[in-house]
Structure formats: C-alpha cells, structure tokens
Structure 1
Amino acid sequence: MILSEKEIHHFKYPIAVPGIGIGMQEKLKEARVLVVGAGGLGSPVIQYLSASGIGVLGIADYGVINDEDMHRQPVYQMQDIRKHKAKMAASRLWAVNPYTKHYPILVQVKPETIGMMLVGFDLVIDCTQHLPTHLVINDACLVHNKPFITGEVHNWMAWFAGFNMPLPDGSTSASYRCALPLTEDYRNFDAGAIGATHGALGMQIVCEVIKYLMDVPAGIAGKLYGVDYLHNQTQVHELQPDTALIESTRAAGVLTAEAYGLEIVPDVED
C-alpha cells in the first residue's frame, strides 16, 4: 500500500467519496505536477492540488509577493511581502499537508530552462496568464510529450483548456497554438483583477486535474471552457487538432526568447 495509516486518516473524507477510495487517492499520491506561476491563478491551484494529496508538486515562480496582490493570492500572509513566492508557497502548503513534497523552483520559464524544468513531471499547469510563456511551455510540452493545462482570467471573463493530452481513441488533443484564435476572444485587457474570479477558475482547473489524474473519462482533454462569471455562463468548445501545425511546431522545437517576445529577467539571487 502506498498510503500510510496517517495519510489514510488525513484523506478519509475524499477516500469516502463514491468511486474514489484508497486506489484513486493513491493515484494522486503517485502524480507529479508542475505548476508555473504562483500568483493570482496559481495560488488557489497549488493550494487545492496540495490539499488533495498530489505526491510531488513543483512550484515555479521567480517573483516576489506584493501587498497589492494579496486579495487574490490567499496562500500568502502579510509578513511574506517581498519574499519569493515559490519558497513561501512551499512552506505554507507543507504546513497544511506535509504528505506532499513541495519543490520551489525560483527560475523563469525560458527556452534555456524549460526542458530541465519538465523532467520528472507528469503534467504541467501554466498559471502565468502570459502569452509568451504559454507558447514556450506549449512548444516544450509538444517536444517532450507532456500534457499541458492553462487558462487566464480577465476581469469577469476567463477560459481554461487541456492541450497535448491523450484522448480515448489513442490520439492526442490539440495544442495551445491550435486554439489561439479562440483564446483571443476571451481576452479583456481592461484594468483590474478580482480575487474571487481567480479563485473560481483555479478551483475549476483543480477539479479537472484531479479527474484527469484519476482517469475519469470525458474530462478536460481537447476542450476549452469559456466562463463569464458576471452572467454565470459557461461555453464548452471542442478543440480540433491542427496536425500540420502540431508537427511543424514539434519539428521546430523550442524557439528563441526573441521569437516568443519573451523578456528575460535576471536570475534570482537566493
């Protein structure tokens, strides 16, 4: 048995859910998930992934905690301001669930680092809400055959989707590049950010991740969910893989930072 007696007690309520049991909880224990970005969207994602019993959780973020972001980053506390997000997140999450291994990664996602960062992880969740970073991760996931989930929140509007994921017929779902025209429809660059909408989208992503890791059929793979929180409306879009685009992206590999329009920041001095 993978779970200890203490873990079985700790997770007794999710284990009691019909269809989960010890077997499914052990699947979560065996999972290794990399979350890129521990800010407004990443904060609720890492909190509930950790609390659910994921075995290994990588938290990649080179930024620091700011006072004006606290309303949508509840994993942190006021005394954490100006400290590194990844390190403080790992500390806070361990205090809630010591059974998950939390690894802070104080590294920017860029062409020179992304291959190294993917090693050992089963699934990548990009919570950066940053187009160049989405593209770097997408291309690297195609090259290294890693499933990839990402999403964004813009005021009351949001979207999230699963890319490069296995489908029931044995094929693989669309890439992020295949969905770019659709994701643009959900972008709203007006000022401001609402904490509750970031939390709501984070919870939806975690629910889908848990189902994916438990092999629940008809999940997020190949679907893009568009959400209007103001009017409480959700649209589900079936994504079609552009085979030629996917193959050309895989053949080209990870491009340069300049090609992605990615601004390189100095390495973190720990």
Structure 2
Amino acid sequence: MALTEKELQRFHLPISVPGMGVAMQEKLRETRLLVVGAGGLGCPVIQYLSASGIGVIAIADYGVISDEDMPRQPLYQMQDLRKHKAKMASSRLWASNPFTKHYPLLVQVKPENIAQLIAEIDLVIDCSQHGPTHLVINDACLVHNKPFVTGEVHNWVSWWGGFNMPQADGAVSASYRCSAALAEEYRNFDGGAMGVTHGATGLLMVNEILKYLAAVPDGLVNKFYSMDYLHNKFEVHTLSPDPAVIAQTKADGILTAADYGLEIVPDVED
C-alpha cells in the first residue's frame, strides 16, 4: 500500500536520504516488531523505531514506572508513576506518531507464551537486559526462524548484536548461545545505571536495526558491538556460528522456566 500524502510529508527527510526512498519507507511501515522491555534500554529503542515509521511495534513489559526509572527513561512523566510501562509507552508514542500501531503487552516473556508473541513478528528486539530472557527468546527464534537483536548496558560499558539473522547466501548466522561467553566479558554488575549510556546504546541499536531492515550489508549479521563510553572505546567483533550449538538448541526446542533459571512472576491484573 502506498504512503499517504500525510506520511510522505512527515517522512520526506528520511525518504530523501540516499539509499532510502519511498519504497524503503513503505517497507518500514510494513514491518512488525516485538520489543521486550520498556525500561532504560527499551525506551530509546521504541521511541526512535516509532519515529522512523515502523508499522507495528508490540511492547512487552509487565513492570510499572518508579521514581528511580526517571533518569534513564525520559519517555515517561511524573504523572505516570506506578502505571504500567507498556501502556504508558504506547500512549506517549501514539501521541507523537499516530501512524505507527503501538500494542502494549502486559506480560512476562516466558516459555509458555514466547511462540505466540513472535508468531507474526518480523524481528524481535530484546531490551530486557536479563540473561534468562535472552535465552528464552534466542531458543524460540531459532525454532521459529526469527531474527532478534539484544544488548545490555553496564555502567559505562554496553554491548549489542544481532542473532539468528538470515544471510544472503542462506547460511546460518550465530545465535546468542554461540556468543554468550563474549557477552559475559562485557558484563559488570556493580551498582548504578546511567541514563545517557542507555540512551546512546539504544540509538546505536536502532541505527543498526534500520540498516538491517534496509538490507545494508555488514551490519547486524554475525556482528557483536561494544562501547566503552568512559574511554570512548568502540569495538566490533565478528561472530562465528557454532553448528553444534545451533543444532542442539533446535533439537531441544523451548525449555522450561526452571531450565533457563527464569523466575516466573504472577500475571498482571489489569
């Protein structure tokens, strides 16, 4: 379906970027994303994905907004305290971009629901910053042939990458399980979290996601990025898929919450 006159007017500047154009903007509008987590990393990701003209963004988050969230989640306002993040994110995003459909999902992503959540989705973006959730999503994406992007921010250092991404020649790309040891090297669980490092990482992730959707080569496929904001040190690692790990993951399928070490929270009473 062609862009409307209002959409052409709204997006005329990104359309004018060399290599983008009307056809690419229409492709973005046809794209359906699931973003898991609407917190420090999820907020900038969903804000800029929505602003770019993505057609559908489902936002899965069962948490509520607290005072300590505000420095790194500026999407929310003080009157949003103690309200559900997914709901308020959808409301705020619709207010700035009614052309994108924002669907709040007040659920915990877990083995019992992950297949349904990703069934109609083109790309999963995991902003949960939670190891067990990464594994649940990775395994489901492998089983159901879905690409996904994830990352984390630890104080001044962050990492992100694309996993299970289709390659032009049909070859299998690295999964998150293939790269878990590398991700562990960038984890630092000291207390504290800075808003600016979450925001900057979210924007870098969105930039790579848009490049991926625009079929720009050498972006997310088999790449793992890290940024040390304190020392301005940016690194790019090339990932190698482990065929044995990928085959075993597919054979095992989606495991149980206990296998993942995932603590199940009570369902949200809306």
Partner of residue 18, structure 1: 18
CA distance in 1, matches of 2:94, 2:221: 30
Partner of residue 174, structure 2: 174
Structural mapping, 1:110-121, within 5 Å: 110-121=110-121
SS of corresponding position for 2:162? strand
Partner of residue 136, structure 1: 136
Partner of residue 184, structure 2: 184
- 1:15-67 deviation digits (Å, cap 9, x = unpaired): 11111111111110011010000000000000000000000001000000011
Say if 2:209 is the partner of 1:209.
yes
Shift of 1:155: 0.2
Say if 2:8 is the partner of 1:5.
no
- 1:190-236 deviation digits (Å, cap 9, x = unpaired): 10000000000000000011111111111111100011111111111
Question: What one-letter code is carried by the residue in structure 2 that aligns with 1:237?
Answer: H
CA distance in 2, matches of 1:3, 1:66: 39
Partner of residue 152, structure 1: 152
CA distance in 2, matches of 1:2, 1:60: 29
- 1:233-265 deviation digits (Å, cap 9, x = unpaired): 111111000001101001100100001010000
SS of corresponding position for 2:181? helix
Partner of residue 49, structure 2: 49
Displaced runs of 4 or more, over 4 A? none
Unaligned 5+ segments in structure 1 are none
Partner of residue 93, structure 1: 93
CA distance in 1, matches of 2:2, 2:31: 12
CA distance in 2, matches of 1:172, 1:57: 26
Partner of residue 39, structure 1: 39
Shift of 1:168: 2.8
SS of corresponding position for 1:220? coil
Question: What one-letter code is carried by the residue in structure 2 that aligns with 1:246?
Answer: I
Say if 2:243 is the partner of 1:243.
yes
Shift of 1:145: 0.4
CA distance in 2, matches of 1:73, 1:52: 19
Partner of residue 78, structure 2: 78
SS of corresponding position for 1:110? coil
SS of corresponding position for 1:8? helix
CA distance in 2, matches of 1:10, 1:108: 34
Partner of residue 254, structure 1: 254
CA distance in 1, matches of 2:66, 2:243: 42
- 1:144-187 deviation digits (Å, cap 9, x = unpaired): 00001000000001100000001232212100000011001000
TM-score normalised by length of structure 1: 0.99
CA distance in 1, matches of 2:167, 2:100: 28
Question: What one-letter code is carried by the residue in structure 2 that aligns with 1:259?
Answer: D
SS of corresponding position for 1:200? helix
Q: Aligned residue pairs: how many?
A: 270
Cα RMSD over matched residues? 0.7
- 1:105-128 deviation digits (Å, cap 9, x = unpaired): 111011101111111100000000
Partner of residue 265, structure 1: 265
SS of corresponding position for 2:59? strand
CA distance in 2, matches of 1:61, 1:2: 32
SS of corresponding position for 1:234? strand
CA distance in 1, matches of 2:77, 2:117: 27
Partner of residue 109, structure 2: 109
Unaligned 5+ segments in structure 2 are none
Partner of residue 59, structure 2: 59
